[in-house]
């Protein structure tokens, strides 16, 4: 079967399954399976695909039609223009989270000392910590997660992006324990979705991404509450903290930080104008 026909058949199946971008997803699945680069399908419409590869591709199309995220199928996701390995053990990094990293990088420039030590709580794929270390050579980052699988994936991504010597990942349940040292900056995109909201999410997220990385307790604030209680003692003098938040959590998260003695509490918006990042400072 030539690739043009395979693309047509695949895209039709995805369209019937209400996949948002059926042609694009079909093309990417074909190119990934064949080990070819982007636009190979477009440039080589009459390339003859072997029967074995056709069978493999159509099986993957069936999986995508069942709403398995494309990133899990290709084990890849771009974040901050960097490549990351992802699978079902970690949350897929979202473009919205780039706002968190970008603001942290700007705030780190204001630090009076050159070397900067940061902690990423709930690191998952390591995208936040690794991106910060990649774009600021003075950053050394620790990333913690309750999942041993996530920790191994984060290490793999740090090596892939050339920052393993400045990134350390280890298992830690922030609800029970704290890292043994202090940091200049803490950043976190914790689970923040309420249980009843999870049921309304798209199947791609609800049925495949790790529940532990989504659910933020009954009110969605469990991790913000616990991290904020411990953060003061985990930060150096004048250390800072930055959270990614849900669209309706601005006042709650800012209030939690103020109640724990943090100052300079600020909420920043993402490119869509939604509240996205809350930052605060530890005073002496």
Q: What is the pLDDT of residues 139-165, one digit of tens each?
A: 999 999 999 999 999 999 999 999 999
Q: Are residues 127 and 176 in the same domain?
A: yes
The per-residue pLDDT for 220 is: 86
Range of the structural domain that residue 26 is part of: 3-68
| Mean pLDDT, rounded, for 2-10 | 95
- Which has more pLDDT, 272 or 160? 160
The per-residue pLDDT for 82 is: 98
Lowest-confidence range among 54-68, 167-181, 209-223? 209-223
Q: Are residues 116 and 244 in the same domain?
A: yes
Residue 112 in this model has a pLDDT that exceeds 80: no
pTM here is 0.92
Burial of 261 (0-12, 13-18, 19+ CB in 10 A): exposed
Question: How many C-beta atoms surround the C-beta of residue 167 within 10 A?
Answer: 26
User: d(Cα 206, Cα 245) in Å, to the nearest integer?
Assistant: 19
Q: Are 151 and 158 within 8 A, CB to CB?
A: no
Residue 105 in this model has a pLDDT that exceeds 80: yes
Q: Are 159 and 212 within 8 A, CB to CB?
A: no
Q: Are residues 225 and 136 in the same domain?
A: yes
Residue 227 in this model has a pLDDT that exceeds 90: yes
Q: Are residues 249 and 192 in the same domain?
A: yes
Q: Are residues 146 and 87 in the same domain?
A: yes
- pLDDT tens digit string along 177-211? 989 889 999 999 998 888 888 888 888 888 888 88
- For residue 199, is it within any domain? yes
Torsion of CA 115, 117, 123, 125, to 10 degrees: 20
Torsion of CA 130, 270, 103, 77, to 10 degrees: 10
The per-residue pLDDT for 182 is: 93
CATH number, domain with residue 152: 3.40.50.150
Which is nearest to 155 in space by CA: 184, 183, 133, 186?
A: 133
CATH number, domain with residue 40: 1.10.8
| Mean pLDDT, rounded, for 57-79 | 96
Q: Are residues 106 and 163 in the same domain?
A: yes
Q: Are residues 86 and 38 in the same domain?
A: no
- For residue 90, is it within any domain? yes
| Mean pLDDT, rounded, for 110-127 | 89
Q: Are residues 18 and 143 in the same domain?
A: no
Residue 51 in this model has a pLDDT that exceeds 90: yes
Residue 8 in this model has a pLDDT that exceeds 90: yes
Q: Tokens 């049921």: give the residue.
A: 199
The per-residue pLDDT for 215 is: 83
Q: Are residues 142 and 277 in the same domain?
A: yes
Residue 19 in this model has a pLDDT that exceeds 90: yes
Averaged pLDDT of the chain: 93
Residue finishing a domain among 42, 68, 94: 68
User: d(Cα 79, Cα 144) in Å, to the nearest integer?
Assistant: 19
| Mean pLDDT, rounded, for 30-41 | 93
| Mean pLDDT, rounded, for 96-123 | 90
Which is nearest to 183 in space by CA: 260, 236, 108?
A: 236
User: Structural domain tally of the chain?
Assistant: 2
The per-residue pLDDT for 244 is: 96
Residue 113 in this model has a pLDDT that exceeds 90: no
Q: Are residues 99 and 230 in the same domain?
A: yes
- For residue 182, is it within any domain? yes
- For residue 73, is it within any domain? no
CA 112 to chain centre: 29
Tell me the angle at which helices 127-135 and 148-160 cross, rounded to the nearest 10 degrees.
20
Residue finishing a domain among 21, 41, 68: 68
Q: Are residues 145 and 40 in the same domain?
A: no
- For residue 252, is it within any domain? yes
> Which of the four pLDDT bands, split at 50, 70 and 90, describes residue 70?
very high
Q: Are residues 37 and 141 in the same domain?
A: no
């Amino acid at each position: 079967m030539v690739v043009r026909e395979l693309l047509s058949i695949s895209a039709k199946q995805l369209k019937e399954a209400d996949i948002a971008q059926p042609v694009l997803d079909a093309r990417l699945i074909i190119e990934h399976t064949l080990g070819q680069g982007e636009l190979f399908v477009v440039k080589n419409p009459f390339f003859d695909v072997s029967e074995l590869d056709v069978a493999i591709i159509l099986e993957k199309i069936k999986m995508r039609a069942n709403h398995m995220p494309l990133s899990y199928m290709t084990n890849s996701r771009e974040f901050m223009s960097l490549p990351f390995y992802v699978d079902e053990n970690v949350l897929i990094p979202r473009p919205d989270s780039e706002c968190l990293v970008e603001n942290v990088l700007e705030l780190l420039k204001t630090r009076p000392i050159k070397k900067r030590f940061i902690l990423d709580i709930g690191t998952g794929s390591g995208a936040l910590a690794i991106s910060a270390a990649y774009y600021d050579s003075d950053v050394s980052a620790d990333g913690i997660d309750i999942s041993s699988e996530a920790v191994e994936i984060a290490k793999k991504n740090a090596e892939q992006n050339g920052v393993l010597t400045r990134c350390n990942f280890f298992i830690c349940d922030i609800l029970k324990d704290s890292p043994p040292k202090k940091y200049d900056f803490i950043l976190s995109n914790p689970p923040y979705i309420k249980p009843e909201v999870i049921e309304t999410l798209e199947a791609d997220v609800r049925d495949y991404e790790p529940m532990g990385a989504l659910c933020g307790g009954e009110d969605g604030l469990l991790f913000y509450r616990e991290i904020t209680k411990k953060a003061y003692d985990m930060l150096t003098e004048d250390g800072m903290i930055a959270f990614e938040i849900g669209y309706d959590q601005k006042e709650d998260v800012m209030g939690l930080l103020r109640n724990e003695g943090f100052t300079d509490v600020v909420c920043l918006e993402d490119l869509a104008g939604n509240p996205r990042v809350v930052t605060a400072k530890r005073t002496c």
